[in-house]
Amino acid sequence: MVWNEVSIMSARREFVRLATQPDGNVRELCRRFAISPTTAYKWIARSADPAETYIDRSRRPLTSPHETGAAMTQKILRVRDAHPVWNARKIRRVLEREGERVPAASTVGQILKRNGRISESASEAAQSWQRFERDAPNELSQIDFKGFFETGEGRCYPLTMLDDHSRYSQILKACTNEQTDTVKCHLIECFRKYGMPRQMNMDNGNPWGTSFGGRYTHLTVWLIRRGVRVSHSRPMHPQTNGKEERFHRTLKAELLGNRWFATMAEVQRAFDAWREIYNHERPHEALGLEVPASRYQVSVRPYPEELPPIVYDSTDLVRKVQSRGSVKFGGHEYYVGKAFTQLPVALRPAAEDGVMNVFFCHERIATVNRRDSLPAASPE
């Protein structure tokens, strides 16, 4: 039985005083106070301490063989403080790589919470995504500009490119504009170092798309000419370039945030340092907590410093694109895009009667339907 709730400490003190009298009958007092003999003798034993207050003591053991030691706690907090947005799984993986015997990720999470490094609701917004990726590095690269931010020298437009398979950051550059020549300069530097990807995916804005919905610009034509297949995200569906979008959120959370940069050179130094951490130190959830560098290797396709001539099959109908961006065929003009002006394209019969596919190098860029009452080329 247990003590009644009325003045429980006073009742315990009174019981002990009566039970320890020379003629005290412990069994009878147990009956009258409605407690068990076990409880009675526990309090009689504790009364030998003059400082006894008759308050219930915690049942928590004084020591635990599985409790995380102070040294490990400090190591966990050290990694968290160096990377304030890394979660428990990332921190655990980093310490494992250092040769430490680290507790479970759930324990690491509890340590972060107890030490004020993470709130109870920090993971409420986490979502489970179905991920798709190419089977090997350099099969697909995703490229985009992150939204600009202000510096002491004006606006910075971060240009980023990511390998789809490994999530390896191939380009992270601080740019003063989003112009074609700026992007080409950084792409050439990247291609010379890492080789050529087989395909690149991008959104529909400048410099890889036109304001009126065109899919081919001087930049994308330049890429096609160098053997890269070009694809675009679905309009209003940025998730089709999702790894780039996720990279931008990580860049903002881990580096940019509310940080102020005085110069573009300062931005680039910060980009270079963070990119090194991202590629070689930061565990990636989608890679089983391995780092992107563990899955990346350079492309076997070198950057073509000298371009070979454009050659089509002998069965192709070859036409040069006119200054208006159109080709002449069957007595009509068909628009294929001004970005191809003065370049040769090939027309090949499609499976459907009266329809011709228009190719530039390896890329099908438009479809010509000769049965249309108003002849026009449908862009791919």
Supply the pLDDT for residue 310: 92
| Cα torsion 97, 99, 100, 104: sign | positive
Q: What's the token pair of residue 205?
A: 């804005």
- Residue 99: alpha-carbon gap to chain centroid: 26
Task: Say what the alpha-carbon torsion angle 123, 129, 132, 136 is, to the nearest 10 degrees.
Answer: 10
Q: What is the pLDDT of residues 79-90, one digit of tens each?
A: 888 888 788 888
With beta carbons less than 8 A apart as the criterion, state whether 241 and 213 touch.
Answer: no
Instruction: Report the C-alpha gap between 166 and 299 in whole angstroms.
Output: 13
Q: How far apart are CA 317 and CA 301, in angstroms?
A: 29
Q: CA–CA separation, 353 vs 176, rounded Å?
A: 50
b or e along 14-26 (b: 16 or more beta carbons within 10 Å of the residue's beta carbon)?
ebbeebeeeeeee
Q: How many CB atoms lie within 10 A of CB 5?
A: 7
Q: How far apart are CA 52 and CA 68, in angstroms?
A: 32
Please, which contacts does 32-39 make with residues 24 or more away whose CB atoms are closer than 8 Å? 33/3, 34/1, 34/3, 34/4, 35/1, 35/2, 35/3, 36/1, 39/1, 39/2, 39/3
Q: Is 217 helix (H, G, I), strand (E, B) or coil?
A: coil
pLDDT digit string (tens) for 94-153?
A: 888 888 888 888 888 888 888 777 765 444 334 444 457 778 999 999 999 998 999 999
pLDDT digit string (tens) for 310-360?
Answer: 999 999 999 999 988 889 888 888 888 889 999 999 999 888 888 889 999
Q: Which CATH entry fits the domain spanning 141-294: 3.40.50.620, 3.60.21.10, 3.30.420.10, 3.40.50.200?
A: 3.30.420.10
Sketch the domain layout of the chain as residue ranges. Answer: 1-56, 75-114, 141-294, 317-379
Whole-number Å distance between alpha carbons of 214 and 205: 9
- Supply angle C-alpha 57, 59, 60, rounded to 5: 115
CB 36 within 8 Å of CB 26: no
* pTM flag (> 0.95): no
For the segment 41-69, what is each residue's pLDDT rounded down to a tens digit?
887 888 888 777 778 777 666 555 555 67
**C-beta separation of 40 from 15 below 8 A:** yes
pLDDT for position 374: 41
The whole-number pLDDT of residue 372 equals 59
Q: Which two tokens stand for residue 378?
A: 């449908």
Q: For residue 363, give both structure tokens.
A: 């890329």
- Helix ranges (H only) for the chain are 8-19, 26-33, 37-46, 70-82, 88-97, 105-114, 180-194, 218-225, 242-251, 264-280
The residue whose two tokens read 């931005």 is: 267
Q: Select the more confidently predicted residue: 278 or 122.
A: 278
**pLDDT (0 to 100) of residue 123:** 42
pLDDT tens column, 140-193:
999 999 989 999 999 999 999 999 999 999 999 999 999 999 999 999 999 999
